Amino acid sequence: VAEVYIWLAILIYIGIHTEKRVSDYWITPKPGELKLVHPVTKWMTYPRFQQLFQYLRISPPSESDTTSSIERTISQVSRWSEHIQAVSSDLFVPGKHIAIDKFVIRFTAGSRATRKPPKGIKAWVVAQEGYFVRWKFDIPDSRPRKQGILARTQANKHRLANSQAAVLDLVLQ
């Protein structure tokens, strides 16, 4: 378990201190060179980091092939997402000026070599000064939807478009 926490800490460190390649974090400078020595080298070797990155899963593999890969991924991380949002809401009280915007979350699926992973998962986020307080995943629908603020349903009732409903849902949470 401790090794997984170290692995997660290294992932966070990599997100903060960007390098061209992940392997660059484990490069040690030659004598006389002035290069940054990343502290991750003290805690975990690069081959072990690669192994954990490749094989560590936070949920059991999905047995259903009926859903899309994005829906499968979101369902696997939904419990973590809800917990992080609850803690974020408890720790941070937003001020008057918040931003609600669409955001793309990097998505790396490394299970099958033949499958091309999507570029990212879209989410609506409520943020202030770079701190994400709440978010809602935007799962694309296969059916075409009517656009506009007052798109009409079959029952001739007014409803919000998907993006407008997502924004309203985030604000009211």
What pLDDT digit, counting tens, does each position of 22-37 carry? 898 998 888 888 877 8
CB 111 within 8 A of CB 76: no
Partners of residue 49 on adjacent β-strands? none
**Confidence (pTM):** 0.53
pLDDT band, residue 101 (cuts 50/70/90): confident
**Comparing 66 with 167, which gets the higher pLDDT?**
167
Question: How is residue 27 written in tokens?
Answer: 């490069």
- SS3 call for 23: helix
pLDDT band at 117 (very low <50, low <70, confident <90, very high): very low
Cβ within 8 Å of residue 48, ≥6 positions away:
3
Contacts of 42 (CB under 8 A, 6+ apart): none
- For residue 44, give both structure tokens: 């975990």
Query: Which value, to the nearest 10 degrees, does the dihedral of the CA atoms of residues 6, 137, 19, 115 take?
Result: 90
Task: Please name the residue ranges forming H helices in the chain.
Answer: 2-16, 40-43, 46-55, 69-91, 162-172
Residue-wise pLDDT tens digits, 46-80: 999 999 988 887 666 655 555 666 677 777 778 88
